[in-house]
Chain A
Amino acid sequence: MGAGDLGRWADAWQAIGRAHDETLGLNLDRGVLVLDSFSKLQSLAMGTNR
């Protein structure tokens, strides 16, 4: 995690937390939540989510 990426990591943290709340609140697919969260983290680590 580079210093310049801090904002993007903070956004991802917030987005994953929100997706978690929505998934439980709306009874969405929980397996997809797990896959999507790590997909988001992978994109972030690769720098492809800019």
Chain B
Amino acid sequence: MAAADTNARDEEPDRLAGFPAPRETVALYGHGEEKAEFEQALAEGRLHHGWLISGPEGIGKATLAYGLARQVLAHDRPGEDPDDPDGPLFHQVAGRAHPNLLILNRTYNPKTKRYSQWIGVDEVRRLRSFLGGTAAQTGWRVVVVDRADELNAQAANALLKGLEEPPAKTVFLLVAAAEGRLPVTIRSRCRSLRLHPLEDADVERAARQALDAAHAGVDDETLETSIALAEGSVRRALVLSGGEGIALYGEIFDAFRKLPQLDAAWLHKKADTLGAPGNTEQLELFFALLLGLMERLIRARATETSGMIRRSRWPAS
């Protein structure tokens, strides 16, 4: 494999350029209960072999998964701090170099210079040698599937075999933003950790840490607006705070305000840009902002309406 291909395999397909990947991140904001539930099961020696970590994009699902993977890998190594950023375990996981950790994600195709759209069966077949071979080190083995809702049908079947007959001391951590896309046969074999959008304060702390790590300067006002629009997602706050995220929101707000008039030239330009392959991140952001704007307007109007009803029933004296 050429060096460039190796580097591409070592990256995550949905990594935000310039920011640390979840496997390189120690701090977890929020999700304390879910983390504690897993840690308790591990400590009591009754760890289920399959865990499905689900929730909206950008809230820390993969960060939690890698943190839990480190906990499991450190379990048989007393004295090892799984969250020590200078420790050998952290470096091995961050560098995808731990022999007892297998990470399955969409793969990079050097011919098309793009990541595949799905996790294919060839990627999941790596599971066979990982689980079948002798573990390079004694102890637990961890499989992280990031993201499990990107498995195609064949790959999901191949993963299912591993989940049905897991070797001892093996744990599968499945990360999914769209849990419903996973076959019920996989979901039913996993314990579920459903994560919720973060509080704004947690989004701010996580975003500031990521911006510092990336040496990205963002003024307070931009960051504040980004967090207000991020709906509990650190990823969205970072996307909004950099580049043209807030400007895009301004465009959507303007188009919304002018309805039923539509600027056809603007709309077709947006359709062309967002419809182009490789612009998934922008498309996701566009719809997250549009749906978020609609939701806020509907909620505001509903609150106003119910207030009017209450006032008409129980007028203030």
A residues near B, CB below 8 A? 1, 3, 6, 9-10, 12-13, 16-17, 20-21, 24-25, 27, 29-35, 37-38, 41-42, 44-46
Contacts and interface: CB of A to CB of B under 8 A. Distances in A.
Interface stretch (B26-34, B218-226, B259-267): B259-267
A36 B189 CA distance: 38
Contacts of A45: 259-260
Contacts of A12: 294
A33 B274 CA distance: 10
Closest 10 CB pairs of A and B: A31-B275, A45-B259, A31-B271, A45-B260, A30-B275, A34-B271, A46-B260, A3-B305, A13-B294, A20-B287
Given A3-B301, A24-B280, 7 more contacts: A6-B301, A13-B298, A34-B267, A38-B267, A41-B256, A42-B262, A46-B260
Mostly, the B contact residues are: helix
A18 B308 CA distance: 31
A27 B118 CA distance: 11
15 contacts: A6-B298, A6-B301, A6-B302, A9-B294, A17-B291, A24-B283, A30-B279, A31-B271, A31-B272, A33-B283, A34-B283, A35-B267, A38-B255, A41-B259, A45-B260
Interface in B146-190: 178, 181
B297 interface: yes
Contacts, number: 72
B297 to A, nearest CB: 6
Contacts of A32: 271, 275
A32 B64 CA distance: 36
A13 B291 contact: yes
Nearest to A36: B271
A41 to B, nearest CB: 6
A43 B302 CA distance: 21
A13 B271 contact: no
Contacts of A38: 255, 262, 267
Nearest to B149: A25
B140 interface: no
Nearest to B280: A24
A35 to B, nearest CB: 5
Mostly, the A contact residues are: helix
A20 B262 CA distance: 20
A29 B181 CA distance: 19
Residue from B256, B268, B271 having most chain A Cβ neighbours under 10 A: B271
A16 B259 contact: no
Residue from B181, B268, B280, B291 having most chain A Cβ neighbours under 10 A: B291
Contact of A9 (B272, B280, B298): B298
A16 B291 contact: yes
B84 interface: no
B82 to A, nearest CB: 34
Contacts of B286: 34
B117 interface: yes
B259 to A, nearest CB: 4
B55 to A, nearest CB: 15
A1 B257 CA distance: 10
A46 B279 CA distance: 31
A41 B293 CA distance: 13
B271 A16 contact: no
A18 to B, nearest CB: 11
A1 B297 contact: yes
